[in-house]
Homo-oligomer: A and B are copies of this chain.
């Protein structure tokens, strides 16, 4: 019955371009990185309007920031004007659990006359950038978003990507869109005040991309591990940079930046990580959970015969040298109740992606590959193995 002549096959190609800059002291008036991004010559209407939104945790760690942003805008008044004083929003995962924050930002965007050629400048951790990004992406079908990530995890991973989200129905990232940023401006100086857990937690995403694609980067992480633990900013700079670069390369070359298929390589280790975060009420932070999730799927890869024992050992050793735990007691609890155990994370992961279950495993360091099912008995063995290892280490 369908008449092929009665169907138009529409193809729409959209090209998004955005700079990801690595700088320090972004709001020093002498630093032209932000000015150059805002000065979009094609628009020809100056000064451009800019609404600054700042993570409360960052505002607390850098009490001078508010004044610095205002001074920067004043020094570059020919190009930009702040629509109001920076808006301070709740930091951390709480910012994604309160839809009223999105509504408040919509009101500020409307009141400030922010249009599709104006800017929202979001300064904060990954959760705040996710929430502000969702508000910006839905206002006027998307106003320009400049992300200034302030944590290792946001600088090397989430903030360089094309997604935003808030939580809904008790589910992480249930509401959101794909919306590439207008620019990402990474300022190393913001990392100096992070607590040790957040400083090191973000490195787990670097281990992840190294394991998937870049054995030389894995070597480099081994070399830098002790300097990273010692909070050496000069060691962190190339780690953040290379991790962001690998992440960006993946998005640009995957052929599926908006995730219309089922493959999700960058979610290596994440099915267990997301569930562990939820099971511990986010007491285990995302970066920490990712380290555990990677250790679990690496152990599974080893026990299934895909990964050599020496490679498996190197992975566990690297996490050890980075002071990142590869096990948490909650991982081994309630394994007979899918809702209450990490095993349920597999089904939730499939539901979130939709379609066919697709999981990344390892054949070697720098060599990820995909499978479409996991053996539950082998996952239990992997959990038991990690639990024994930890017991041996800590006894």
Q: Is A7 an interface residue (CB 8 A)?
A: yes
**A254 CB, nearest partner CB in chain B, Å:** 10
**Residues of chain B within 8 A of A178, CB atoms compared:** 141-142
Q: How many residues of A contact B (CB 8 A)?
A: 77
| Copies of this protein, total | 2
Interface of chain A residues 17 through 39 with chain B (CB within 8 A): 17-23, 30-33, 36
Q: Is A13 an interface residue (CB 8 A)?
A: yes
**Residues of chain B within 8 A of A259, CB atoms compared:** 116, 141
Interface of chain A residues 230 through 265 with chain B (CB within 8 A): 244-245, 248, 251-252, 257-262
Given A14-B14, A20-B10, A44-B356, the answer on whether A175 and B116 have CB atoms closer than 8 Å is: no
Interface-facing stretch out of A121-129, A162-170, A317-325 = A162-170
Q: Is A63 an interface residue (CB 8 A)?
A: no
Interface of chain A residues 110 through 135 with chain B (CB within 8 A): 110, 113, 115-118
User: Complex Cα distance A3/B14, Å?
Assistant: 29
**A167 CB, nearest partner CB in chain B, Å:** 12
* Residue with the highest number of chain B CB atoms closer than 10 Å, among A36, A137, A258: A258
**A185 CB, nearest partner CB in chain B, Å:** 10
Is A22 within 8 A of B6, CB to CB?
Answer: yes
Q: Is A43 an interface residue (CB 8 A)?
A: yes
**Residues of chain B within 8 A of A117, CB atoms compared:** 262, 353-355
* Residue with the highest number of chain B CB atoms closer than 10 Å, among A17, A160, A163: A17
Is A175 within 8 A of B106, CB to CB?
Answer: yes
Given A11-B17, A16-B14, the answer on whether A352 and B140 have CB atoms closer than 8 Å is: yes
List the interface of chain A (C-beta within 8 A of B).
1-3, 6-23, 30-33, 36, 42-45, 106-107, 110, 113, 115-118, 137-143, 160, 162-163, 165, 168-169, 171, 173-180, 244-245, 248, 251-252, 257-262, 351-356
Supplied contacts A2-B31, A42-B355, A43-B355, 15 more A-B pairs, CB within 8 Å: A3-B23, A6-B22, A8-B244, A10-B248, A10-B252, A12-B15, A12-B16, A12-B257, A13-B16, A44-B355, A106-B168, A106-B169, A107-B169, A110-B174, A141-B259
Task: Show 28 residue pairs from A and B whose CB-CB distance is below 8 angstroms, ordered by the A residue.
Answer: A1-B32, A2-B23, A6-B21, A9-B19, A10-B19, A11-B15, A13-B15, A14-B14, A14-B16, A14-B258, A42-B261, A42-B262, A43-B354, A106-B169, A115-B352, A115-B355, A117-B262, A117-B353, A117-B355, A118-B354, A138-B176, A138-B177, A139-B174, A139-B175, A140-B352, A141-B163, A141-B176, A142-B177
